DNA sequence: TTGTAGGCGTTATCAC
DNA sequence: GTGATAACGCCTACAA
């Protein structure tokens, strides 16, 4: 593990027979002060030969800009799909030559303080505050003084920019898919948890029904305590036991859809022939493993990560130019669990 | 987004009526050069009042140590469980006051070069090179000169330190669980993919059988082309169609176990009464959603991330003191899919 | 068109 | 005990 010293701007200057300042100007293409083409070329050539790369720390110290963003999250990458958000953020940052730090707090205030302390020490330029499930959260005030951008979350107070899934549109597009297949008796197996997704998806469901003149029947909406496969099983079982059995079910998430599959199986119902199902989350590991594969709605994790980073970088570079993205749409992923009503 | 300037060591010096050097000595408790207690206290008090935090960039520039680690991965956080590795790494780093950068290459050589370039620019002290699935990989030579540590991977050449799951032990512990429940006719639904897990788990399976005097029957090992639920379904179906039907199946992973559940269900077999199943990966989202919940083997993702970081930091701080961890054990997660042989 | 000099915030080495 | 002073690598007036 030999540590060979990297060449500095001065090494290039010596080799080229010019001053360090000239090297800096040449390499950075500073407008205003022009450098003779011959000099520039020579400098560039020598820099390449020496394998020169600027020392980002020195640059950052001097310019007071570290080109570094931090993504802070309570439970980083704990939710399987949350990795996509990080990935979107990281790739967007990398595209601009920026760096992403990651810090997870595990929910402990003390750890969070330590992480925010690190944000300051390392002169991070901006912060993406992300949540694994779309929630409304408090922003620690210790972060004041840095651009903070929320991803997959909304703030309780303060005017923070944020990007999160459009739950209403998500509920709409899922329901719409079922309506387009001819279904009118559409159940909604949901959760009673107090999160934006619950109200939003329900509203989207109702809007879609309304738009097509289908009467909303509250008895077709089941809200279970939680949102596990077991809850989906119970909800679906109860819906499918009605004398007028729904021909389609929209499930709050893929886990619940997995439970619905089991309920249907036990009752001898074939998907999608006897029952159509749409899930939510596009957890590929479930959606693709189910048989038939599950049609579902994909949350825009990658996009949220990327948009958050793009917005912060734009803000940092040009000032307040861009627009607060807010709610962004979800995509329907069509697979095999929706059938035309016979 | 107001950016208030952080106080520097000089601000404290001015306020305390001492020199910056004294402040540095006092705050860092440098042994050798002693500072009057009164001075130290005064300096500490003022530092606290001003909310002083050292500028990590300046420190790093001066000391040539950034206290920063990068985790480079082809497909960061793409595999659901891979997030745990990142999390283990991040938390271990944070515990020592270090910072984790993350960079994903998406498999593209060009992106990888850019990321490695960033590693150098930002004076990263060490690199964790991680893979999402235990594989044997090439380390880019551009990383030479930095401590590189492999997590969930082994290197094709060069003597890199690494940490990866003990596949043999994993296969052993899974099979052992079934043997302990009284089973002797134990199938193994595996994959034909050329990865260390395939050979390792098979060997563990054989070792366990041997240890308990159970004859190894190659016909009980089915290797499907891939390792999806569909493959598990096929493999299990074929095993369960034998005239002497196995009473237990060890599945290469949880997705395949999910397929095995479906095969069992279609053949009217109840788990765990008629058939016991053990999976691999502990993908909670599947293992907990299945009914009955799946007993499986958990890969030590969190531990691998943490151990990699601990090792790199130890190496950086004390020189070559610690031991190369190599293969580390997996944990059996007992749930409900294994029953005593009646 | 290029070089000089000062400074970003720290730390290390000397003197005093 | 404490304080100048000189680095670390880079940027940027300003001077030449």
Q: Residue A1: is it exposed, middle or buried by C-beta count within 10 angstroms (0-12/13-18/19+)?
A: middle
Residue A128 three-state SS: strand
Residue B33 has pLDDT above 70, yes or no: no
Contact B118 A94 (CB under 8 A): yes
pLDDT at residue B336 is higher than 60: yes
Q: How far apart are CA A124 and CA A118, in angstroms?
A: 9
pLDDT over threshold 60, residue B332: yes
Residue A188 to residue A249: CA distance in whole angstroms: 6
Q: Which of A177-186, A317-326, B170-179, B182-191 has the lowest mean pLDDT?
A: A317-326
The DSSP code sequence of B289-316 is TSSSPPBEEE--HHHHHHHHHHHHHHHH
Look at residue A263 in the predicted model and tell me its pLDDT.
Answer: 97
Cβ-based neighbour number of residue B69 at 10 Å:
29
Q: Which residues of B218-253 are buried (b: 16+ CB within 10 A; e: fewer)?
A: eebbbbbeebbbbbbbbbbbebbeeeeebbbbbbbb
Phi, psi of B336 (to 5 degrees): -125, 10
Chain B positions in Cβ-Cβ contact with residue A283 (cut-off 8 Å): 285
Strand order across the beta sheet in which A126-137 lies: A326-328, A161-165, A148-155, A126-137, A68-73, A99-104, B99-104, B68-73, B126-137, B148-155, B161-165, B326-328
Task: Find the Å distance, CA of residue A159 to C1' of nucleotide D12.
Answer: 36
Is the pLDDT score of A342 beyond 80?
Answer: no
Please answer yes or no on whether A291 and B117 come within 8 Å at the CB atom: no
What's the pLDDT at B2?
29
- What average pLDDT score do residues B319-341 get? 91
Model confidence at B301: pLDDT above 90: yes
Segment B275-288 shows an average pLDDT of 94
Predicted confidence at residue B262, as pLDDT, reads 94
Closest alpha carbon to A223 in A271, A187, A258: A187
Report the C-alpha gap between B257 and B239 in whole angstroms.
13
Residue-wise pLDDT for A217-244, tens only, equals: 999 999 999 999 999 999 999 999 999 9
Residue A327, sorted as left (phi over 0), alpha (psi -120 to 50) or beta, turns out to be beta
Minimum CA–CA partner of A228 in chain B? B289
With an 8 Å Cβ cutoff, is A212 touching chain B?
no
Please give the residue of chain A at the shortest CA–CA distance from B286: A286
Over the stretch B204-255, which tens digit does the pLDDT of each residue have?
999 999 999 999 999 999 999 999 999 999 999 999 999 999 999 999 999 9
Return the closest-CA partner of residue B172 out of B133, B211, B219: B211
Q: What is the pLDDT of residue B321?
A: 67
The percent of residues in chain A predicted with pLDDT above 70, rounded, is 96
A31 confidence band (pLDDT: 50, 70, 90): confident
Q: What's the CA B39/C1' D1 distance, rounded, in angstroms?
A: 9
**The predicted structure's pLDDT at residue B257:** 97
How confident is the prediction for chain A on average, in pLDDT?
91
Place of tokens 């563990």: B204
Lowest average pLDDT, out of B67-71, B114-118, B294-298, goes to B114-118
Q: Is B105 helix (H, G, I), strand (E, B) or coil?
A: coil
Tell me the C-alpha distance between B97 and A127, whole Å. Answer: 18
The reply to whether A27 touches chain B by the CB within 8 Å rule is: no
Candidate from A34-38, A246-250, B220-224, B245-249 with smallest mean pLDDT = A34-38
The pTM score is: 0.90
Q: Kindly report, residue by residue over A170-206, the tens digit of the pLDDT.
A: 999 999 999 999 999 999 999 999 999 999 999 999 9
At residue B3, does pLDDT exceed 50?
no
Instruction: Kindly identify which residue of chain B lies nearest to residue A117, measuring between CA atoms.
Output: B53
The pLDDT tens digits of the residues spanning A90-113 come to 999 999 999 999 998 877 888 888
User: What value does the mean pLDDT take over residues B24-48?
Assistant: 84
Per-residue confidence at A76, pLDDT binned at 50, 70, 90? low
B228 near A CB under 8 A: yes
Among partner residues B120, B258, B259, which is closest to A53 by beta-carbon distance? B120
Per residue in B201-214, pLDDT (tens digit) is 999 999 999 999 99
The neighbour count for residue B127, using CB atoms within 10 Å, is 25
B155-184 average pLDDT score? 93
Average pLDDT over residues A324-338: 96
pLDDT of residue A78: 58
Give the CA B18 to C1' C16 distance in Å: 15
Taking 70 as the threshold, does the pLDDT of residue A80 lie above it?
no
- With 90 as the cut, is the pLDDT of residue B172 above it? yes
| 3-state helix vs strand vs coil in chain A, percent to 5 | 45, 20, 40
Residue B78 neighbours by CB distance under 10 Å: 16
| DSSP-H helix ranges across chain A | 9-16, 20-28, 37-50, 56-63, 82-95, 109-121, 167-180, 196-211, 229-240, 254-266, 284-287, 301-318
Please count the residue pairs, one from chain A and one from chain B, whose beta carbons lie less than 8 angstroms apart: 178
Grade residue A1 by pLDDT with cuts at 50, 70 and 90: very low
Look up tokens 């077999």; give the residue: B269
**HEC states along A36-61?**
CHHHHHHHHHHHHHHCCCCCHHHHHH
- The reply to whether the CB atom of residue B43 sits less than 7 A from any atom in nucleic acid chain D is no
pLDDT by residue (tens digit) across B63-100? Answer: 999 999 999 988 765 566 678 899 999 999 999 999 99
Contact B88/A at CB under 8 A? no
Tokens of B167: 């596949």
Of B147, B68, B75, B158, nearest to B112 by C-alpha is B75
Whether the Cβ atoms of residue A201 and residue A168 lie closer than 8 Å to each other:
yes
B38 touching A (Cβ < 8 Å): no
Q: Which of B100, B96, B227, B225 is nearest to B151 (CA)?
A: B100
Model pLDDT, residue A192: 97
- The answer to whether the beta carbons of residues B198 and B226 sit under 8 Å apart is no
Cis? peptide before B176, omega within 30° of 0: no
Tell me which chain A residues have a C-beta less than 8 angstroms from the C-beta of B53: 117, 120-121
């Amino acid at each position: 593990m030999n540590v060979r010293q990297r060449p500095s701007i001065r090494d290039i200057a010596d080799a080229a027979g010019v001053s360090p300042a000239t090297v800096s100007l040449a390499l950075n293409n500073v407008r205003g002060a022009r450098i003779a083409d011959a000099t520039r070329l020579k400098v560039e050539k020598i820099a390449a030969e020496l394998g020169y790369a600027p020392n980002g720390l020195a640059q950052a110290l001097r310019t007071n800009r570290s080109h570094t963003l931090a993504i802070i999250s309570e439970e980083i990458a704990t939710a399987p799909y949350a990795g996509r958000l990080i990935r979107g953020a990281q790739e967007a940052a990398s595209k601009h030559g920026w760096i992403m730090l990651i810090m997870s707090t595990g929910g402990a205030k003390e750890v969070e303080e330590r992480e925010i302390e690190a944000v300051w020490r390392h002169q991070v330029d901006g912060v993406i505050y992300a949540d694994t499930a779309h929630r409304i959260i408090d922003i620690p005030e210790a972060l004041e003084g840095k651009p903070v951008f929320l991803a997959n979350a909304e703030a309780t107070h303060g005017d923070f920019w944020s990007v999160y899934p459009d739950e209403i549109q998500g509920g709409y597009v899922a329901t719409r898919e079922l309506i387009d297949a001819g279904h009118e008796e559409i159940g909604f197996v949901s959760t009673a948890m107090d999160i934006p997704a619950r109200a939003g998806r329900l509203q989207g469901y109702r809007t879609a029904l309304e738009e097509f003149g289908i009467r909303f029947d509250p008895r077709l909406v089941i809200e279970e305590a939680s949102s596990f496969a077991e809850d989906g099983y119970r909800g679906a079982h109860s819906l499918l036991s009605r004398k007028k059995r729904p021909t389609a079910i929209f499930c709050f998430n893929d886990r619940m859809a997995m439970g619905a599959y089991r309920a249907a199986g036990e009752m001898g119902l074939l998907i999608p022939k006897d029952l159509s199902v749409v899930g939510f989350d596009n957890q590929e590991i479930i959606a693709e493993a189910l048989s038939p594969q599950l049609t579902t709605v994909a949350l825009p994790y990658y996009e949220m990560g990327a948009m958050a980073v793009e917005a912060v970088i734009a803000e940092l570079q040009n000032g307040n130019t861009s627009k607060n993205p807010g709610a962004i749409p979800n995509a329907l992923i069509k697979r095999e669990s929706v059938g035309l009503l016979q």
